[in-house]
Amino acid sequence: MSKKTIDQLDVRGKKIFIRADFNVPQNDDGSISDDRRIRSTIPTIESVLKRGGSVIVASHLGRPEGKGHEPQYSMKAVAQRLRELLAGIAGTVHLSSVLPSQAHAEAAALKAGEVLLLENLRFEKGEKKGDAQFAAAIAPYADAYCNDAFGASHRNDASMLALPLAMKPKPCVAGFLLSKELKFLGETLENARKPFVAILGGAKVSDKLPALEHMIGKVDSIIVGGAMAYTFLLAQGIAVGSSRVEKDLVEKAKGILELAKSRATKILLPADHNCAREFKADTQKNIFAGAIDDGWMGLDIGPQSAKLFASEIAKAKTVIWNGPMGVFEMPPFDAGTLAVAHAVIQATKSGATTVAGGGDTAAALEIAGLSSDVSHVSTGGGASLEMLEGKKFESLVPIDEA
């Protein structure tokens, strides 16, 4: 999937509409707790500004209901962070209304080197509905469209699909972030070097079932951790105590284990478990090998499982990782996730292509200070998972081919 990129576009004297993914987590006071998604689009914005263009950038934030301005979902904090990140590069970073009647004039007045950030796109009900009329009102703002919002590319919101279609025949290109995501989550995985190891974790089997099924037969082995592992263990008749289980998916899990066996894909499940009496850090703890006693819940993989998983990862030439091995945000139940993270880093150093996807996985790597040590950390949670499921994104169709 080779798309034309922003650096291949003549931007001098042009206004470029950049659809970014600034849907960042915020603290109770509205401040940004993790700015990775903002930082990830800075190279695309810089490319335009440094070559004599101006930028109109837009995103959604949170889940407003499309009923106009909701202060808790304002892009005000994002605008301030953009000013800080673009200091010395952008002439100004101005926050505008999302209403076409107001933003159109501000976009028209934009000068080279300046940035106009639109207010939360989802303040307008037409955004979530993929409304062509809303997109048509925005289309005259700019001379070209740039998609740098991989995290929203699995959705057909107005700014993702209707807008580039409305802007044709104006150029529609990919930003650096989107291009990188497509390379690692598309091209690299489609042509993965063997052995190919997938690591899936997190709380719910239901979230990962489509990805699991799609990868069986394509990867050599799948490591399953996190709470989702207990549904698979129960499917094998292994007692899991009070651990989280999706009982309605036990039979489905049995089927997946049989499918993997028939297609020569090895599935590795935890052999031991770091367990607790209650879901809190200061509760009574114990390590169980095999079955978990009643009254105990597994909150992380155990030390033997960590060694087993690390050994499998060490053989890999390609690794895809989506989901933590336990409750990584609550020590000591972060040990398994950290062990897997270090194993993935070691594989990277040994020449493997390693891709981490999903918000929790990225957060775990960030907490451990290891984000820069893998080949690629995806900014898209749902989008990266859907790409692992083999889904095609309609929003990418209007982007010009390279």
Gap between the Cα atoms of 33 and 27, Å rounded: 6
Residue 275, φ and ψ in degrees, nearest 5: -115, 160
Q: Which of 113, 186, 382, 390 is catalytic?
A: 382
Gap between the Cα atoms of 185 and 163, Å rounded: 25
Q: Which of 151, 359, 380, 381 is catalytic?
A: 359
Known catalytic residue: 30? Answer: no
Known catalytic residue: 37? Answer: yes
155 within 8 A of 129, measured Cβ to Cβ: no
Q: Which of 39, 125, 170, 204 is catalytic?
A: 204
Q: Which of 14, 37, 122, 252 is catalytic?
A: 37
Which among 8, 357, 17, 25 has a CA at the least distance from the CA of 160?
Answer: 17
Residue 248, φ and ψ in degrees, nearest 5: -75, -5
Known catalytic residue: 382? Answer: yes
Which among 101, 16, 2, 77 has a CA at the least distance from the CA of 52?
Answer: 16
Helix residue ranges, H only, 130-204: 132-138, 163-167, 176-182, 189-190
DSSP secondary structure letter of residue 159 = I
Known catalytic residue: 351? Answer: no
Helix residue ranges, H only, 75-195: 76-85, 100-108, 125-129, 132-138, 163-167, 176-182, 189-190
User: Beta-strand (E) ranges in 97-247?
Assistant: 115-118, 144-148, 172-174, 196-200, 221-224
Three-state secondary structure readout of 286-353: EEEECCECCCCEEEEECHHHHHHHHHHHHCCCEEEEECCCCCCCCCCCCHHHHHHHHHHHHHHHCCCE
Question: Catalytic residues, which ones?
Answer: 37, 204, 359, 382
